[in-house]
């Protein structure tokens, strides 16, 4: 049977960190206005290496005049990963993330002279179902776009230069009903680790040197041309927490503002993947 061998130096540092972590985090759930969690001292040899963002795609055409846009309801889920790897959807965090994001987007898009925000019209049940289906398609398309261009290797790089992802022309009825040129879709997921989860993550790192992934986030944000369904602008963010720190957290209003502003800022250029990964 293999014996458990532990690097003495690492176990000492880990022990110190564990004591500090134990003091820093009781496993209290965040309040409805979460404050920043204490960030531990630098973890041993596990600081994330920032991956250089890929070169941006060629700029899409700048819109002439104000672009009329529909901001669709935010699609977002917030989870907590507890000690033991139990992951639960957290309703109040989910609502915070959605409302923080919606507030920021309404403000940014409303104040941007390039855009005119248009109200979503009342839709029939059939229209709602069609819209729902296209939003789900957007999630799949944006996932595959990120996978292909960011991780697919050389064979997929042509997609960067010719980003032709589309949802098809099925949303034309929205243009006809609302007068909007495009729909903005913002969606994503984040997992925040509890103090206990970080505690155990540190423990495992200290004992065995193995890093067990904990929290993280994946956000996509795109503009869909309502005439033909082309995704005419797109950005995304993939992030991973390291020992409970460093990831995106839309529960906090200031973090949401920072993240959403950062995602929107390159418009009309689509950098396709501003990325922090371990």
Partner 1 sequence: MMTLKQRWMSLALLLSLAPLALATKLVIAGTPYVSKSGGYQIQFPTDWRWDKAGANSSASRDGNDLDMIYVNFLKHKNAFAAIKKSSAVDMSPQDLAENVIAEFKTARGLENIDLLSNEPVSLGGQPAFRLHLKFRTPVQAGALTYEEIVVGATSATGLTLVGFRGPAIHYFPTYLPNFEQSVTTFQFSAVKPAPH
Partner 2 sequence: MPRINLLHLGLVLALVASAPSSHALDEARQRARLLFEAKQGEDMMQNEGLFYGDAALDAYLQSIIDRLYPDMAGRFHVHAIRDSEFNAFAIASGSVFVHIGLLLRIDDEAELATVLGHEGGHVVGDHMYLQIRSAKARLATGGFLAGGLGQLIAVSTLAGFSREHERDADRMGFEHMVKAGYDPAAGKEIWARVAKELEERKIKEPAFFFADHPKVLERETNLAKFAQGVPAGGERGRDHFLEVTSRARLDALEAVWKRNDGKLLVALLATDNLMPTLPKYCRFYLGEGYRMRNVDGDLAKAIEAYQQTLLDAPEFAPTWNALGRVHMREGEKARALEEFQKYLDLAPNAPDAGYTRQYVEQLRKETT
Instruction: Decide if 174 contacts 72 (C-beta within 8 A).
Output: no
Out of 38, 39, 41, 89, the only residue in the binding site for partner 2 (CB under 8 A) is 89
Q: Contact region for partner 1 (CB under 8 A) — 1-9, 141-149, 198-206, 255-263?
A: 141-149
Q: Are 166 and 54 in contact (CB under 8 A)?
A: no
Q: How many residues does this entry show for the chain?
A: 278
Q: Does 14 bind partner 2 (CB under 8 A)?
A: yes
Picked from partner 1, partner 2, none, the partner binding residue 137 (CB below 5 to 8 A depending on kind) is partner 1
Given partner 2, partner 1, none, residue 42, with its beta carbon under 5 to 8 Å by kind, binds: none
| 48 contributes a contact to partner 1 by CB under 8 A | no
- How many CB atoms within 10 Å of residue 256? 23
The token pair that represents 119 in the structure block: 């109200």
Q: Cα separation of 229 and 24, whole Å?
A: 49
Q: Are 105 and 115 in contact (CB under 8 A)?
A: no
Q: Which is nearer to partner 1, 54 or 179 (CB)?
A: 54
Read off the DSSP letter of residue 222. Answer: E
Closest C-alpha among 186, 241, 188 to residue 211: 241
Instruction: Report the residue from 10, 68, 139, 177 that binds partner 1 according to the rule CB under 8 A.
Output: 139
Q: 111-150 mask for partner 2 (x: CB under 8 A)? A: ----------------------------------------
- Give the orientation angle of helix 91-111 with respect to helix 253-264, to 10 degrees: 50
Beta partners for residue 189, in sequence order: 77, 218
Question: Binding of partner 2 at residue 15 (CB under 8 A)?
Answer: yes
Residues in 186-245 at the binding interface with partner 1, rule: CB under 8 A? 189, 191, 213, 216, 218, 229, 238
Q: Which residues bind partner 1 (CB under 8 A)?
A: 75, 77, 79, 87-89, 132-137, 139-141, 143-148, 150-156, 158-159, 165-170, 189, 191, 213, 216, 218, 229, 238
């Amino acid at each position: 049977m293999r014996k458990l061998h532990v690097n003495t130096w690492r176990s000492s540092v880990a022990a110190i960190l564990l004591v500090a972590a134990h003091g820093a985090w009781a496993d209290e759930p965040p309040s409805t206005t979460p404050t920043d969690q204490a960030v531990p001292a630098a973890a041993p040899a596990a600081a994330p290496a920032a991956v250089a963002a890929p070169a941006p795609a060629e700029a899409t055409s700048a819109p002439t005049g104000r672009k009329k846009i529909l901001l669709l309801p935010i699609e977002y889920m917030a989870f907590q990963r507890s000690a033991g790897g139990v992951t639960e959807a957290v309703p109040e965090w989910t609502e915070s993330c959605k409302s923080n994001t919606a507030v920021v987007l309404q403000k940014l898009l409303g104040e941007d002279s390039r855009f005119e925000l248009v109200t979503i019209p009342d839709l029939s049940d059939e229209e709602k179902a069609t819209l729902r289906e296209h939003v789900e398609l957007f999630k799949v398309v944006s996932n595959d776009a990120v996978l292909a261009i960011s991780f697919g290797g050389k064979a997929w790089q042509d997609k960067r230069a010719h980003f032709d992802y589309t949802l098809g022309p099925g949303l034309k009825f929205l243009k006809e009903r609302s007068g909007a040129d495009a729909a903005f879709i913002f969606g994503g997921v984040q997992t925040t680790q509890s103090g206990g989860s970080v505690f155990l993550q540190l423990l495992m790192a200290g004992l065995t040197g193995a890093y067990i992934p904990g929290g993280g986030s994946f956000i996509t944000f795109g503009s869909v041309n309502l005439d033909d369904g082309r995704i005419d602008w797109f950005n995304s963010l993939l992030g991973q927490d390291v020992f409970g720190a460093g990831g995106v957290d839309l529960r906090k209003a200031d973090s949401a503002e920072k993240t959403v502003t950062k995602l929107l800022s390159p418009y009309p250029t689509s950098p396709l993947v501003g990325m922090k990964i371990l």
